[in-house]
Structure 1
Amino acid sequence: MERQEIGRIAHRDHPVAAPLSDASVHRLLERQLRRCPNSSALDLGCGEAAWLVRALTMHPNLQAIGVDTDPAALDDGRRAAERAGVEGRLALHHADVREFEAADSFDAVLSVGATYAFGGLLPTLEAVRPLLAPGGTLLLGECYWEDGQPTDHAREFFGDDLTDLSGVLATLRTAGWWPIAGHTSTREELDTYEWSWTGSLTDWALDQPPGPDRDQALAAATRHRHQWLTEYRDGFGFVTLLLRPDVTA
């Protein structure tokens, strides 16, 4: 099994591929999209397009584009859009987010938990700025470390530039961005996400016949659960911020 397939299975029972509750997702989208209910949204690293499908159901005049490198996730996103009746307003592109070129700018750009795809937080901000229409906003989800120094594994898994929450905000300000709203994931949200990730993968594996896929999925769930509980549960945090660029910067 490829890593992307494991990730799709692990996220199948959670609202989005990030540690946020259903209510938190709705509140953040409502805050962002009230500025542009009749316009356009772009999700860079959209995966199965869960954020965009939700946004399209909330705002019937919105048009949306999603970009991701996982074709199977994009197929799942198209099916989800069909079930929700919003497929006519959603275009999904199989492409590297660093190479995506848009003909128009967007009132809302999303990149939640996907800064790794750009090579870090600063490259993400640099890539998004020219894609935003005047007055547009970026919904950005980023991890941070809140208790002492990150472990070597945490830096390897979450990125070498892993810092605390104040460090994330300092980076944003240095790059010329202002937070206008935000949500810091609670311990309940973080734990629920991890239990869902490992539990969904385990549940899927137990329904499979004996073989390599079953064994690999169970091993991945067991390894992930051990690392969560012993290496990063007490230090890992996740923040989702609604940002506007400083046009004078």
Structure 2
Amino acid sequence: MDSNDRARLARFTHAHHPICAPLSDDSVTALLGRAVTTGQERILDLGCGEGAWLLRALAAHPDVTADGVDINAGGLTAARQSAERLGVDRRLGLHHQPAAEFTAAHPYDLVFCVGSTHAFDGLLPTLTAARRHLAPGGRVLIGEGYWQREPDQAALDGFEATREDFDDLPTLVDKVMADGWVPVAGHQSTQAELDDYEWAWTGSLAEWALDNPSDPLAADAARLADEHRHGWLHGYRDTFGFVTMLLRRQD
């Protein structure tokens, strides 16, 4: 599959789980409640996908403005259409480019990067990029994976990862703090949230393949769903975790 085909299939995987991370609606609401404190923030989402985080913040706070950056044109189109339906499109700017290349004429009070640190080659480079966009006293909401326990080979194979790709949670937090950040709120995804995300990811893709058997990508979609489900259930299900943290600078 080429990159366009992969991007198309990726959209199907989140048909029933619009937050592209293992977080429930209640968890998203709680995190946004901690992150958006004045209701007048200027927000940036680096790797916004279909803009789910931004759309929720804009819909809840009529004085919030936001920008989203992503390389997936289909996701940005969906974000724009959703913003129009919600009546928040005038307060949302969408930018089709790599998140690492985005520049803005003004700083932001809040920067999101939940589940997209790969765009910057890791957690600490993501925080460095976020800091460049941050206004004094601003906050970063970041979501990152970690190892809940030492991964065995089945977990590494299932996730297509190496041991070095993630830290355990204490090491992850220590690195963030050593980089000059203070966690002021956080949420570790529960096993139910992690499982719900995987069932939605694989199930949505598998169902699309069943419903569209004549599509040239149907066989690839079914294979990808099967491979992902096997890697999760037989590999990393009890090993991989996900944490979302609200951070402020020590200085």
TM range, normalised to the smaller chain? Answer: over 0.9
Taking the aligned partners of 1:227 and 1:130, their CA distance within structure 2 comes to 37
Q: CA deviation at 1:39?
A: 2.6
1:37 aligns with 2:39: yes
Q: List alignment gaps of at least 5 residues for structure 2.
A: none
Say which SS state the counterpart of residue 210 (structure 1) adopts.
Answer: coil
Normalised by the size of structure 2, how large is the TM-score? Answer: 0.94
Name the % identity: 50
Q: CA deviation at 1:154?
A: 5.9
Taking the aligned partners of 1:31 and 1:214, their CA distance within structure 2 comes to 41
Question: Is residue 40–residue 64 contact of structure 1 (8 Å, CA) maintained in 2?
Answer: yes
Aligned position for 1:117: 119
Taking the aligned partners of 2:162 and 2:94, their CA distance within structure 1 comes to 26
1:236 aligns with 2:240: yes
Aligned position for 1:66: 68
Taking the aligned partners of 2:86 and 2:169, their CA distance within structure 1 comes to 36
| Number of aligned residues | 246
Shift in alpha-carbon separation, 1:209–1:94, aligned structure 2, 3 A: same
TM-superposition CA deviations, 1:123-149 (whole Å, max 9, x none): 101111121111111000000001113
Q: CA deviation at 1:85?
A: 1.2
Look up the equivalent residue of 1:12 and give its one-letter code.
A
Question: Is residue 40–residue 61 contact of structure 2 (8 Å, CA) maintained in 1?
Answer: yes
Aligned position for 2:110: 108
Q: CA deviation at 1:80?
A: 1.1
TM-superposition CA deviations, 1:13-40 (whole Å, max 9, x none): 1140000000100110111001x41130
Which of 166, 173, 176 is the aligned partner of 1:169?
A: 173
Q: CA deviation at 1:7?
A: 1.4
Question: Is residue 120–residue 159 contact of structure 1 (8 Å, CA) maintained in 2?
Answer: no
Normalised by the size of structure 1, how large is the TM-score? Answer: 0.95
Aligned position for 1:83: 85
Aligned position for 2:229: 225
Aligned position for 2:183: 179
Q: CA deviation at 1:159?
A: 8.0
Say which SS state the counterpart of residue 46 (structure 1) adopts.
Answer: coil
